[in-house]
Amino acid sequence: MGRIALLDPRLASRIAAGEVIERPQSIARELLDNALDAGADEIRVEIEGGGIDRISVIDNGKGIAREDLAMLGSRHATSKISREDDLYAITTLGFRGEAIYSISAVSRFTMKTRSSETGESSTLSIDNGRRGEIEPYGPDRGTIATAEALFAEIPARRFFLKRASTEGSLIRNLVISKALAFPAVRFTFVSDGAIRLDWPKCASPKERCMLLYRSLGIPDADVGEMAAEGDGFNVSIIAGNSSVKRSDRKEIRLYVNRRPVDDYALQQAVVYGYGELLPGGSFPCAAVFIDDNPEMVDFNIHPTKKEVKLRNAAEIHHAIVTAIKSGVERRIPEAMPVQKEFYLEETTRRTEHQANPLSYPHHAAPRHGGGSFAAERIAPAFPKDSGWLEKAKSLKAERDSSLERKDAGRPHVAEHTEDGFRYIGQAFRLFLIVEKGDELLFIDQHAAHERIIYNELIQQIDVQKLLVPIPIETDAASSAFLDEHSHVYTKLGIMLSKKDDGSWEITALPAACRPIESQVVDFIEASRLDDEELEAQLFAIIACRAAIKAGDDIDRWSAEELVRKALALPDPACPHGRTFITVVKEKNLRLLSGRTE
């Protein structure tokens, strides 16, 4: 007897359904797509037990004709496409004809609908693949699609679902994701009888996005709108400025023809657009809406339709980067007054911690030390045009002798300089405190000095030939990369030479690189960047190593010169993207101390 046999149709349908329906969120996704394709402008999602017990999507769309219900739930039955060419011009969210078939194979599914064309109301039930009769009743308008007891007949699949609260949160996040792309639609989400989300119709994508961003604590003033267009596509971007940052990519939301997609290249375009506006390890909040010619888009890659292929991906990538670079601004952070109750509570906790260190919460434990920059101290190495610190010290000596004769015995009180600021002093061997107008500025000495050196490196490179060349370890791939990009290093003052045996060596370096030769070698051996990124990252490393460190003392005259140069910079950020100035307004200090005038 042969061992190969056809699967039971019901078993085959459940296997196929597993590709589309992974969890309650998958059902919500497919039913929401159907509601939006039906032209609904009011959609309500109701769940019980995290959607495991019940999911209902109620809409006011055009409904389904009774004669079409006879085909509903059959595999590959769809009204969205009819011929092969339609796959290359898809304008709807659904098109595979697998959603209802898959949902009804793993749950008790009921479709109640009223057709706006015929005026007939109808109801169809399919219980885990077992079809019922079409009944002549239903809602007065639109459609109510309900799936109950998900995976009740497949215990192995049900076992791997998460807690009801977690599954419910996933559905809520899905509703938010869909709602952002359809501002003209009202979305309501109800979980176990309680309204968890109710977003009204909005006039614009930014107005809809702000409903989300305000819930994340992002004020309207920190969010901007950008646009770009190209041959056959338009891009609209709602994005936060440099003060809006997160530790992950979750709030980089991408939409292609109003469908949420996961695409690493497009995510990278957003990150590249921000560039130095955000420090390393931080990511922006941005919603990117791409409206592309359907013939240039292919969603027919994965059953969930979250992956996409774009024939004009390079053009769209460039448009996103350019729009963000030109449209997102850097915002200097402003310290706000702390509530007195919080201050007293925090002080009490710290006092208790001193008596019993184990009682202090781990995540709130006070930090010690000078930060990451204090871990390794390398003597500053400045390019020739960075001798302003030495000049400042000589000026200090001359001025000190004059002050000693004129103001002997009296403490020195700094006055406002010609640049309009008054240097007050150094705090924690890291922050330079400056009074300017009605503001106190706290300037990170390392980050500010780092940016100054970085700019000077770009403007002028003092190259020194090496008596003994430095060897570079390369494999075939890195050697090929250097063959193509060695000219970039030459432009940066790093002379590379390829020997007869195929190995490489450094024959000359910028003066500022001499104390950090090993880091430069490591960088060359490991880097596979484009020309612009090579220059930016290499100079950032040099500037970081050469700058004054956190924890270094700095005299008044050197500090004032550093402040003067820092305040003259057009962009107050270190080469790694950290904003190095924090502002405290006089009015906030007065508020904190209880003064009303």
Model confidence pTM above 0.85: no
The per-residue pLDDT for range 535-547, each reduced to its tens digit, is 667 777 777 777 7
Q: How far apart are CA 161 and CA 428, in angstroms?
A: 51
Of the candidates 17, 27, 82, 30, the residue with the CA atom closest to the CA atom of residue 52: 27
Question: Pick from 8, 122, 138, 15: which is nearest to 72 by CA?
Answer: 122
Most confident residue range from 201-205, 394-398, 467-471: 201-205
pLDDT at residue 532, rounded to an integer: 65
Residue 323 has pLDDT above 80, yes or no: yes
- Whether residue 241 contacts residue 328, with contact meaning beta carbons closer than 8 Å, is answered with yes
How far apart are the C-alpha atoms of 284 and 243, rounded to whole Å? 9
Rounded distance between C-alpha atoms, residue 147 and residue 144, angstroms: 10
Highest averaged pLDDT of the listed ranges 93-107, 272-286, 290-304, 583-597: 272-286
Nearby residues of 580 by Cβ (< 8 Å), 6 or more positions away: 443, 444, 447, 448, 451, 566, 572, 573, 574
Structural domains in the chain, sorted by start: 9-199 (3.30.565.10), 205-327 (3.30.230.10), 461-546 (3.30.1370.100)
In the prediction, which pLDDT does 397 show?
65
Pairwise CA distance, residues 575 & 318, whole Å: 22
- pLDDT at 415 > cutoff 70: no
Which is nearest to 175 in space by CA: 299, 320, 51, 310? 51
pLDDT tens for 376-398 read 333 344 444 556 666 666 666 66
Q: Which residues contact 525 (CB under 8 A, 6 or more apart)?
A: 472, 473, 474, 478
Q: pLDDT band for position 266 (50/70/90)?
A: very high
Stretch 323-331: mean pLDDT, rounded? Answer: 88
> Pairing state of beta strands 54-59 and 143-148?
antiparallel
413 vs 571, residue with greater confidence: 571
